[in-house]
Amino acid sequence: MSHRDHHHDIAPIREEIRKGKGREFWRSLEELADTEKFREFLHREFPAVNPSEADPAWLDPVGRRNFLKLMSASLAFAGLTACTNQPKEYLVPYVKTPDGLIPGKAQFYATAMTMNGVASGLLVESHEGRPTKIEGNPDHPASRGGTTVYEQASVLNLYDPDRSQTALNLGDPRTWGEFLNELSRALDQQRQKQGAGLRILTETSTSPTFADQMNKLKAEFPQSKWHTYEPATRDGARVGSQTVFGQPVNTVYQFDKADVVLSLDADFLTNGPGSVRYARDFMGRRRLTDGASEMNRLYVAESTLTTTGAKADERLPIRASEVEAFARAVAAKVGVSGMSSALSGEAEKFAEAVAKDLKAHSGKSIVIAGEHQTAQVHALAHAINGALNNVGQTLYYTDPIEINPVDQIASISELVGELNAGKVELLVIVGANPVYNAPVFSGQTFLDAMKKAPMRVHLGMFNDETAVHCQWHIAESHYLESWSDARAFDGTVSIIQPLIQPLYNSKSPHELIAAMMNQGGKNSHDIVRDYWRTQPQFSGNFDQAWRQALHDGFIANTALPAKQVSPGLGGLSSLKSVTPGKYEIVFRLDPNVHDGRFANNSWLQETPKPINKITWDNFAIISSNTANALGLAPNEEPHRANAKMIRLVNEGRELEMPAWVQPGHPDNSITVYLGYGRERAGATGNGLGFNSYTIRTANTPFIATEKVELSAGEGKYQLAATQEHFSLDTSGIEVNAFITDDKDLTERHIVRTERFEQYKQELEEIKKDPRHSLNMHHGAHKPGKDLTIYPNWSYDKAKASDGREVDLHAWGMAIDMNACIGCNACVVACASENNIAMVGKEMVIRGRTMLWLRIDTYFRGGTANPQVYFQPMMCQHCEAAPCEVVCPVNATVHDAEGLNVQVYNRCVGTRYCSNNCPYKVRRFNYLLYGDWDTPSLKLGRNPDVTVRSRGVMEKCTFCVQRIMNAKIEAQKQDRKVLDGEVMTACQSACPTEAIIFGDTNDANSRVVKLKKEPRNYEVLADLNTRPRTSYLGVISNPNAELSGAHEGQKSGEKHG
Amino acid sequence: MAEAIQKNKYVDPRPPVIGPGHDFGSITRKVGDIVTMRGFKKGWIFGFAIVFMGSVMMFNTIAYLVLKGVGIWGNNIPVGWAFDIINFVWWIGIGHAGTLISAILLLLRQSWRNSINRFAEAMTLFAVACAGMFPALHTGRPWMDYYLFPLPNTMGMWPNFRSPLMWDVFAVTTYMTVSALFWFMGLIPDFATMRDTAKKKWQKITFAALAMGWRGDARHWHRYETAYLLLAGLSTPLVLSVHTIVSFDFSTGIIPGWHATIFPPYFVAGAVYAGFAMVLTLAIPVRKYYHLEDFITMRHIRNCCKVMLATGLIVAYGYMMEAFMAWYSGNTYELFMMKNRMFGPYGFMYWLLILCNVVVPWTLWVKKLRDNLKWIFVVCMFINVGMWLERFVIIVMSLNRDFNPAAWRMYYPTIFDFTMFFGTVGFFLTLMFLFIRFVPMIPIFELKTLLPQGKVDEKKVEELEHGKGPVGQSPLPQFGD
């Protein structure tokens, strides 16, 4: 059908829309679909769809046919909108400007995602209107191109088949219109009493538009109250700054300016607002490439071994409840008045050395307190930073970025109190899931209190624990489906623009709040736009400015200005301290599923958690000594994942969960990850792990000490770990006697490390005599290039079919282990880019994880406080690849650019290649792991990458599809592929630029420069596999004063 | 003169390889009756029922395997090969005795081979059939296995001739073909005998077809002997090559524990070791059940024991050398591999292997024990288990902890690993049961050559050739009586 015919047919319908319904069009799809004219049109256009029979069954969430019907109808509607004469809306600016939309060619749009309300700028890859892959926005201050695991995995949430798809009333599907009717009835009642019975509960938000809406709502219902709660609440930071400065402030750190950093239980590299930017800035100061000879130093005093602690030059394992005393001691030593040190032993020594170093770097240091630490610690950190003159130098204060900066535990406690008092008549829960994740209020769960509100409305992406106990549940739109805005860690505002029409009948929080103000038809696009139209940043040509903001991914000059505040420690004594008890339980957000919101995200579930490499579960982390004392000593190494149960009691509430002995954990402290034990997360997330919220009380949201009891539980529990845990030397984890034999692991030279002082000296020697090499390479053997019976291929030139000589590429990769923080962003990015199948807990236990990229973790030193090394490991693309020789069917071969390619169609699956791979990076589809059936998941796949079937081997391809795209582009422009033009998925996700990919034929490329670094080495080079991937050894910068105490552990030379 | 001859003549002090009191007729009856008897012996039916259930188990496992994928087994990454290849190598090893007995011992003129060779050849054939199933079914997409053959195709794709798996395909298929030919050829004269002695018509027709027109003609014999010798010559290098190439599956790999030059001889010896153990495992009960003590004598059994002792020594030397070379090389990975074998999480398997393959079989050095059938049977069972363990040690224990410690992982079999393995045992025994019942399991004609009347009197031949002796008397034994 030609466009003209189409236009002709649609005209009457369009007329109808224009005449009568206008904006209400989206509100009443069904209504429109019911008209005779539309039905006729649809029938003509899509004869397969018979709308008359479709209607009731559309609400069935699982039917494939129904889904297709829905999709085709959506398609038809999309066509409808395109044909109407609505004003042109430039919703989707191009970042790269292609000559129009070319089918098969990906487009990138700038948007942002919020975590705990705080935005991070993104570029989202879209294939024919379907977002498939998340990248960081290189221009955005919070991203600089990097992302976290959450952002990478968020695209899967969009296509989650278990998402809520429509409004539900008591579980029955309803239309938005029906909901609005009932809501307006309830609101009319409230209006009469100025909203005295109206309570709104949201999660943390930084959205200016939302703030504006809430203000207007408050004006309409002056007596109503707005409560904010989410488990990742930063109450300590808020209350701490309130105490010190008399007002809540937001602290922005500038790690690129800091020489010495002290973390007080802060996991700032992977957690909290701005962590991606912080990680990049921080690592920028210890990259040691291109002749850099300076390096910062990181001290970490922490309770749980985090990725930040793993990167520490000096680390002090200390109980969470003792961090305050430690901070006090440091404060006293750097000269904060009114402080005294009450430490002893190693902690005192550590504090002494830290304080000395901090003072020596006054104005060039940062002291940062952990998100879950108490207000006291935060207040002390402010005081120390003040005393060190760091304020204005390495950090500055701004107004809070949150729109409702309250003590969230207090806020939800107040709500519970009012619910109990029967004051709440209409409870609107926006996005939050308090029934699952609220703490326990003096023995009472949130659910008990919530049920006392006669009418409860829940907006959420899932029909979750809270939704099922609310009369009304409204499906919430994903951030890639609806408009919004949010602030980054420094206040920069991003417009969150959608890339796709909502897949289901979902609404955004803006639309819900608007509906409460009788604007039920207003869509989030108009709400956000109308708000910004009034703002000074958009004075002048609004459309142009708006387009620019969408294009850039943020609104220029919206970062909050530095604020002059003066600290006063007067209020410190009024703050409640945590008294260390015999035992303590530390509640932490799970590194993968966060507070549980990602429980149904299989990518995150299957990504091994940093350090302990466990998937699909949560567990109680304890130290080796505590485990022994409680009779929970773990099994010997290969069987460690069969964990013993531990019984935790907090304020009389009990929970049994598996105990995991982790090196570097302080004694008598138990770390418990939140976010598991969900009952209504969805098919993937239900019933995994243990719900630790049941023992988390409002009094002890993060650190419980006083009423804590621990004992050995009953039975055992199988955890799914992807790595057995080995240390690099004798003083490591005492497991199998022979494994810890002196040289077995160190002689493999897989991880190479050195101290900064020594490195500097050796660098001088190398400058004098290039034949020298670093001590870290000592003893490692690398056979000559010619020591092979196979020819050494040349990758310089090749003859094209027309006889011309063409330049070839020789792709290679360099990974800076010094910069790798083990955050897993690359792992999830790889899964997302390459359509990697998730296999589930049982299969992980069987050793069949499909992830192409893994972060190998090695320990060095005693169990008390080991050094931790992260080594991203993927296919090394060996020049003399052992896998290629042994494949009987030529399914894995070398290509003309030196890539080791896997031909899925040719692979019969003998698995010999994997057996013969010394790095064990190949992955085999033992069963049909790829999901070939779920319709929604099909939309999210990367169309450039095959979805593998069972029985074939797969592995890292160096993102060959991206290489091909870049080459085609270069060829079109008759030029070479530029350095940095091809970014592998892992590289582009990496917050610290630890992974660099490029053409090793190009002498000026970044990867060649890195490979020339003296730290460069190839893993298992002695096997003469000649990998294309090389690693840069780890340089640590310990404090000479302290390292004496750790000498044995650090150098690995201790015996006995 | 005759006395002088008598004096100088070497008199074999060993007991004869055939019991006393037999003539051509009794041999034919004794062996042939097992085939041509009416009905079935109760013990046979009972045994067959059990092993047939094993076959059924195997076929069910295969069906499920093809439907679901190799993931029903316990294999993982890093242990890509486990029971599948262990079983393959185990069965192939067992399949070695047959051809060795038939071909090499024939070439070496070891006449004692005659009563056990058919039996051993059948065993070989069935063991190779079981073995062949594993590489074919252990692939991820078994329906694509034809990619392993150098078939012409539109893509112009060839298999990778550098891959030892490719060599395996040729080695095993060749071995299978030649073994089958060799076995069938040896059967032809016996089929003729059966044709001539069978009473039932269908038996006559069947055996006639199988005998391919054999008439016992001198020219037949002449050609038969030549062809048989040629096939034996062809098979002999195969005995060595097949397991050599199977060992290349490992020794061309770079994995510590695989990458060893000792593998070919060590594997061949191991195969013969395993093969003889299996021959005895089967022969001892069959001999007793069918009262074949006269044909499979203690001398046969003792000889088999001696072969086992010899090859067992080579195998033990192999174990020793693996450990020695690990130490002598000074290679971290090799050294660790050896320590892992001995003291790692699967360490008990290694010591069990030493017990089964070295300690227990060496009791056969004691002559008294070599005469004790029950003990020999027990020892053979130990060797059968031991040889399986050897492959477990080599395959699983090398793969599960190789170069990169972060990728180390344990391997645990699933129920389907066991149903597949025991299923093939059942299938193998099913075929053996059918063979024993329907095919003469002892070569009748070759047995007859062992009788004194079967011996050619060379003097007489000379006389005949010079026209001095009675005319018309064939020096060769008569068949069919």
* % of residues, chain B, pLDDT over 90: 38
pLDDT one-digit tens code per residue, A588-618: 999 999 999 999 999 999 999 998 899 999 9
Q: With beta carbons less than 8 A apart as the criterion, state whether A980 and A997 touch.
A: no
Task: Return the residue in A735, A787, A886 with the most chain B beta carbons within 10 A, the one to mutate for interface testing.
Answer: A886
* CB nearest to B74's CB, from A846, A911, A928: A846
Query: Shortest Cα distance from B275 to chain A (angstroms)?
Result: 27
pLDDT one-digit tens code per residue, B284-321: 998 888 888 888 888 888 888 998 999 999 999 999 99
pLDDT one-digit tens code per residue, A435-449: 999 999 888 899 999
- pLDDT at position B10: 60
Residues of A within 8 A of B70 (CB-CB) are: 909, 926, 951
Query: Shortest Cα distance from A917 to chain B (angstroms)?
Result: 8
Task: Report CA-CA distances (Å) from A9 to A13, A15, A82.
Answer: 8, 11, 14
- pTM for this one? 0.86
Mean pLDDT over residues B443-472, rounded?
A: 65
Q: Rounded to whole angstroms, how far apart are CA atoms A560 and B201?
A: 105
Residues 66-85 of B with CB under 8 A from A: 68-72, 74-81
Model confidence band, residue A745 (pLDDT cutoffs 50, 70, 90): low
Model confidence band, residue A1048 (pLDDT cutoffs 50, 70, 90): very low
- Chain CA centroid to CA A403, Å: 23
Q: Does A914 touch chain B (CB under 8 A)?
A: yes
Whether the predicted pLDDT of B248 surpasses 70: yes
CB atoms within 10 A of CB A370: 32
Q: Which residue has the tokens 């958009």?
A: A538
Q: Does A916 touch chain B (CB under 8 A)?
A: yes
Task: Please give the mean pLDDT across all residues of chain A.
Answer: 85
* % of residues, chain B, pLDDT over 70: 90
Whether the predicted pLDDT of A639 surpasses 80: no
Specify the higher pLDDT residue, A753 or B15: A753
Q: Does B139 touch chain A (CB under 8 A)?
A: yes
B-chain residue closest to A721, CA distance: B409
Whether the predicted pLDDT of A200 surpasses 50: yes
Residues of A within 8 A of B145 (CB-CB) are: 908
Q: With beta carbons less than 8 A apart as the criterion, state whether B179 and B98 touch.
A: yes
Model confidence band, residue A495 (pLDDT cutoffs 50, 70, 90): very high
Whether the predicted pLDDT of B7 surpasses 80: no
CB atoms within 10 A of CB A348: 15
Residues 633-692 of A with CB under 8 A from B: 636-639
- pLDDT at position A86: 46
Q: Which of A66-70, A767-771, A873-877, B366-370 has the largest mean confidence?
A: A873-877
Q: Give counts: helices (H), strands (E), chain B.
A: 19, 0
Q: Does B331 touch chain A (CB under 8 A)?
A: no
Task: Please give the mean pLDDT across all residues of chain B.
Answer: 85
* CB nearest to B159's CB, from A750, A858, A889: A889
- pLDDT at position A1045: 45
Model confidence band, residue A733 (pLDDT cutoffs 50, 70, 90): very low
- pLDDT at position A49: 46
- pLDDT at position A255: 92
Mean pLDDT over residues B330-353, rounded?
A: 88
Model confidence band, residue A66 (pLDDT cutoffs 50, 70, 90): low
- pLDDT at position A158: 92
Reading the block at residue A60, the tokens are 């069935």
Instruction: Answer whether B411 sits within 8 Å of A638, measured CB to CB.
Output: no
- pLDDT at position A149: 93
* % of residues, chain A, pLDDT over 90: 46
Identify the H or E element spanning A1034: strand A1034-1036
pLDDT one-digit tens code per residue, A104-155: 788 889 999 999 899 999 999 988 888 999 999 999 999 888 999 999 999 9
B-chain residue closest to A637, CA distance: B345
End-to-end CA, chain A: 83
pLDDT one-digit tens code per residue, A551-584: 899 998 889 999 888 877 777 778 878 888 889 9
* CB nearest to A847's CB, from B77, B249, B332: B77
Specify the higher pLDDT residue, A765 or A1: A765
Q: What is the 3-state secondary structure (H, E, C) of A781-835?
A: CCCCCCCCCCCCCCCCEEECCCCCEEECCCEEEEEECCCCCCCCHHHHHHHHHCC
Query: Shortest Cα distance from A179 to chain B (angstroms)?
Result: 47
A-chain residue closest to B161, CA distance: A888
Q: Pick from A478, A665, A951: which is nearest to B145 by CA?
A: A951
* CB nearest to A926's CB, from B69, B148, B162: B69
Instruction: Answer whether A846 sits within 8 Å of B163, measured CB to CB.
Output: no
Q: Does A860 touch chain B (CB under 8 A)?
A: no
- pLDDT at position A33: 54
Segment among A372-381, A963-972, B93-102, B321-330 with least mean pLDDT? B93-102
Q: Does A737 touch chain B (CB under 8 A)?
A: yes
Instruction: Answer whether A871 sits within 8 Å of B253, measured CB to CB.
Output: no
Instruction: Answer whether B405 sits within 8 Å of A924, measured CB to CB.
Output: no
User: How, if at all, do strands A260-264 and A297-302 pair?
Assistant: parallel
Q: Rounded to whole angstroms, how far apart are CA atoms A415 and A411?
A: 6
pLDDT one-digit tens code per residue, A158-194: 999 999 989 999 888 888 888 898 988 888 888 888 8
Q: Rounded to whole angstroms, how far apart are CA atoms A658 and A634?
A: 11
pLDDT one-digit tens code per residue, A257-308: 999 999 999 999 998 889 999 999 999 999 888 878 789 999 999 999 999 9
Residues 361-420 of B with CB under 8 A from A: 399, 402-412
- pLDDT at position A17: 58
ipTM of this predicted structure: 0.88
- pLDDT at position A576: 79
Mean pLDDT over residues A791-796, rounded?
A: 80
Provide CB contacts within 8 A for B343, sequence distance 6+: A736, A737, A738
Segment among A72-81, A205-214, A908-917 with least mean pLDDT? A72-81
Q: Rounded to whole angstroms, how far apart are CA atoms A469 and A436?
A: 11
Instruction: Answer whether B70 sits within 8 Å of A915, measured CB to CB.
Output: no
Residues of B within 8 A of A750 (CB-CB) are: 404-405
Mean pLDDT over residues A925-948, rounded?
A: 89
Mean pLDDT over residues A948-968, rounded?
A: 92
- pLDDT at position A96: 59
Model confidence band, residue B23 (pLDDT cutoffs 50, 70, 90): confident
Q: Pick from A665, A568, A588, A680: which is nearest to A626 by CA?
A: A665
Q: What is the 3-state secondary structure (H, E, C) of A253-292?
A: ECHHHCCEEEEECCCCCCCCCCHHHHHHHHHHCCCCCCCC
Whether the predicted pLDDT of A487 surpasses 70: yes
Q: Which residue has the tokens 């004609």?
A: B445
Instruction: Answer whether B79 sits within 8 Å of A847, measured CB to CB.
Output: yes
Task: Report CA-CA distances (Å) from B287 to A771, A858, B110, B135, B282.
Answer: 75, 60, 20, 33, 9
Query: Shortest Cα distance from B413 to chain A (angstroms)?
Result: 10
Q: With beta carbons less than 8 A apart as the criterion, state whether A300 and A312 touch.
A: yes
Whether the predicted pLDDT of B283 surpasses 60: yes
Q: With beta carbons less than 8 A apart as the criterion, state whether A757 and A764 touch.
A: no
pLDDT one-digit tens code per residue, A807-850: 788 999 999 999 999 999 999 999 999 999 999 999 999 999 99
Mean pLDDT over residues A703-718, rounded?
A: 89
- pLDDT at position B112: 74
Q: Does B332 touch chain A (CB under 8 A)?
A: yes
Whether the predicted pLDDT of A700 surpasses 90: no
* CB nearest to B69's CB, from A747, A750, A950: A950
pLDDT one-digit tens code per residue, A392-440: 899 999 999 999 888 899 999 999 999 999 999 999 999 999 999 999 9
Mean pLDDT over residues A866-892, rounded?
A: 91
Q: With beta carbons less than 8 A apart as the criterion, state whether A369 and A378 touch.
A: yes
Segment among A103-117, A180-194, B102-116, B377-391 with least mean pLDDT? B102-116
Q: Rounded to whole angstroms, how far apart are CA atoms A733 and A720?
A: 19
A-chain residue closest to B405, CA distance: A726
Whether the predicted pLDDT of B389 surpasses 80: yes
Diameter over CA atoms, chain B: 86
Phi, psi of B55, deg, nearest 5: -60, -45
pLDDT one-digit tens code per residue, B343-358: 888 889 999 999 999 9
Instruction: Answer whether B159 sits within 8 Å of A639, measured CB to CB.
Output: no
Q: With beta carbons less than 8 A apart as the criterion, state whether A622 and A648 touch.
A: no
Specify the higher pLDDT residue, B465 or B158: B158
Angle between helical axes of B332-343 and B347-354 (0-180°, round to 10): 80
Specify the higher pLDDT residue, A788 or A605: A605
